[in-house]
């Protein structure tokens, strides 16, 4: 081979080698750049999602129970009628309610709690809260109204000391609206507030009230609120006062400016006096609807009655938390008295009272097995000519219930 050909081939090989090296370097540079961009994006994502600022949690509650019932109805001038039932997981003692909580940053909290009661799926509440400042929380959506203490604080099965709910405390219940709540120190004492503006209630043809729902039945809104004082520095005692006012007539109905006024008072006292822990709860509420003319279902004529109802319960429980024996210290004895009076001369008028006694065993701080015996007596004060039924009703119930906070 001639020297010129050798030189040409060497030059070609050198050029090819140089081109290959440059290509590899360019590809490596592209890969490194892409990798660095991805790492930078991940670092930015981690920086945006700092620990403690965004968080998702599933909690909730579950309640399952057995109830045995004996009902004796004695109509005026007639023989007693007795019925007996027993049920596993009846609608009043069964509930599965997972609560979904999502905290977005340090200011926002979303709450959603669906509930299955054995026959249908509903929603206990679904709302969003904004923590505007210390002692100021703004919320909007579907939430429990701030009236009394039972519906908002005690209704969960693992909190309530006896199996059944006290009769007559369902109103005002849960509604759609906006609210603001909080609490602040007051010297050595504390005070709290909770107010709301919601769609309100609806007056039914028989004079009863129910929630209007997501679409308001009129152009009025209902104001509800509760103020509470904790006079002791250890917060063992809380005294609260509640009020509610709003229009209840359907738009265009025959009711003339129908409105309801509710007011109530409540008390909570929890204190340890060795070796016992005493837990006392109570609530009184009164519901008034201004004077209206109602229709008799029997002949469609009009009649009126004083539409006012009262409900009250008082409850005490004692638990020997300082006992040395594990079995004894996990037992809790509870007693509750309930009184509920509905309007006389209405179709649903009655004077009702109930006594409940229960023995609870705490498996841990959020799981409890409850045995409750309840007896009640109801005397009808209904208007018979309007379709009401006269007589007395006596009930004896035995409950065995398990409740847990999820």
Residue 101 has pLDDT above 50, yes or no: yes
The pLDDT confidence band at residue 50, using thresholds 50, 70 and 90, is low
Residues facing 315 on adjacent strands: 281, 336
Residue 178 has pLDDT above 90, yes or no: yes
Number of neighbours of residue 46 by Cβ within 10 angstroms: 10
Q: How far is CA 61 from the centre of its chain?
A: 11
Q: What is the pLDDT of residues 182-220, one digit of tens each?
A: 998 888 899 999 999 999 999 998 899 999 888 888 888
pLDDT at residue number 5: 47
Q: What is the pLDDT of residues 287-308, one digit of tens each?
A: 999 999 888 888 888 889 999 9
Q: What is the pLDDT of residues 133-176, one digit of tens each?
A: 999 999 999 999 999 999 999 988 889 999 999 999 999 999 99
Residue 269 has pLDDT above 90, yes or no: yes
- Measured CA to CA, the distance from residue 406 to residue 401 in angstroms comes to 16
Which CATH topology does 60-95+129-405 take? Answer: Porin (2.40.160)
Residue 111 has pLDDT above 70, yes or no: yes
Cα dist from 297 to 133, 205, 294, 348, whole Å? 53, 9, 9, 13
Q: List the chain domain ranges.
A: 1-48, 60-95+129-405
Q: What is the pLDDT of residues 244-253, one digit of tens each?
A: 999 999 888 8
**Least confident among 90-104, 213-227, 264-278:** 90-104
Residues facing 112 on adjacent strands: 100, 126
The pLDDT confidence band at residue 6, using thresholds 50, 70 and 90, is very low
Element (H, E) at 315: strand 308-319
**Cβ-based neighbours of 273, under 8 Å, separated by 6 or more:** none
Among residues 283, 278, 281, the alpha carbon closest in space to that of 332 is found at 278
The string of DSSP letters for 343-378 reads -TTSTT-EEEEEEEEEEEEEEETTEEEEEEEEEEEE
Residue 118 has pLDDT above 90, yes or no: no
**Least confident among 56-60, 111-115, 368-372:** 56-60
């Amino acid at each position: 081979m001639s020297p010129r050909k050798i030189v040409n081939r060497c030059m070609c090989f050198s050029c090819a080698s140089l081109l290959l090296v440059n290509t590899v370097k360019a590809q490596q540079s592209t890969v490194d750049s892409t990798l660095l961009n991805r790492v930078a994006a991940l670092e930015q994502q981690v920086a945006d999602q700092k620990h403690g600022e965004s968080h998702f949690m599933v909690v909730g509650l579950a309640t399952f129970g057995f109830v045995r019932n004996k009902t004796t109805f004695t109509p005026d001038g007639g023989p007693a009628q007795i019925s007996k039932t027993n049920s596993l997981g009846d609608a009043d003692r069964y509930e599965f309610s997972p609560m979904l909580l999502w905290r977005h940053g340090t200011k926002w909290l979303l709450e959603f709690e669906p509930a299955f009661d054995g026959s249908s799926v509903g929603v206990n509440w679904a709302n969003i809260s904004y923590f505007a400042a210390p002692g100021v929380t703004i919320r909007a959506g579907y939430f429990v109204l701030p009236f009394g203490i039972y519906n908002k604080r005690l209704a969960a099965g693992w909190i309530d000391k006896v199996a059944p709910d006290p009769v007559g405390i369902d109103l005002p219940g849960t509604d759609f609206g906006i609210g603001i709540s909080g609490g602040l120190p007051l010297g050595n004492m504390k005070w709290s507030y909770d107010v709301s503006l919601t769609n309100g209630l609806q007056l039914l043809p028989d004079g009863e009230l129910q929630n209007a729902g997501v679409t308001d039945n009129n152009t009025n809104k209902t104001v509800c609120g509760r103020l509470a004082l904790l006079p002791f520095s250890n917060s063992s005692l809380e005294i609260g006062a509640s009020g509610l006012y709003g229009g209840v007539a359907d738009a265009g109905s025959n009711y003339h400016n129908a409105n309801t006024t509710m007011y109530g008072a409540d008390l909570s006292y929890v204190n340890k006096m060795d070796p016992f822990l005493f837990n006392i709860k109570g609530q009184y509420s009164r519901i008034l609807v201004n004077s209206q003319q109602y229709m008799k279902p029997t002949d469609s004529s009009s009649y009126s009655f004083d539409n006012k109802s009262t409900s009250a319960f008082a409850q005490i429980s004692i638990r020997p938390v300082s006992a040395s024996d594990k079995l004894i210290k996990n037992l809790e004895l509870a007693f509750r008295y309930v009184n509920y009076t509905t309007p006389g001369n209405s179709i649903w008028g009655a004077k009702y009272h109930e006594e409940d006694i229960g023995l609870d065993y705490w498996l841990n701080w959020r799981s409890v097995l409850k045995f409750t015996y309840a007896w009640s007596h109801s005397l009808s004060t209904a208007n018979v000519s309007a379709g009401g039924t006269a007589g007395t009703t006596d009930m004896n119930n035995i409950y065995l219930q398990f409740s847990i906070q999820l």
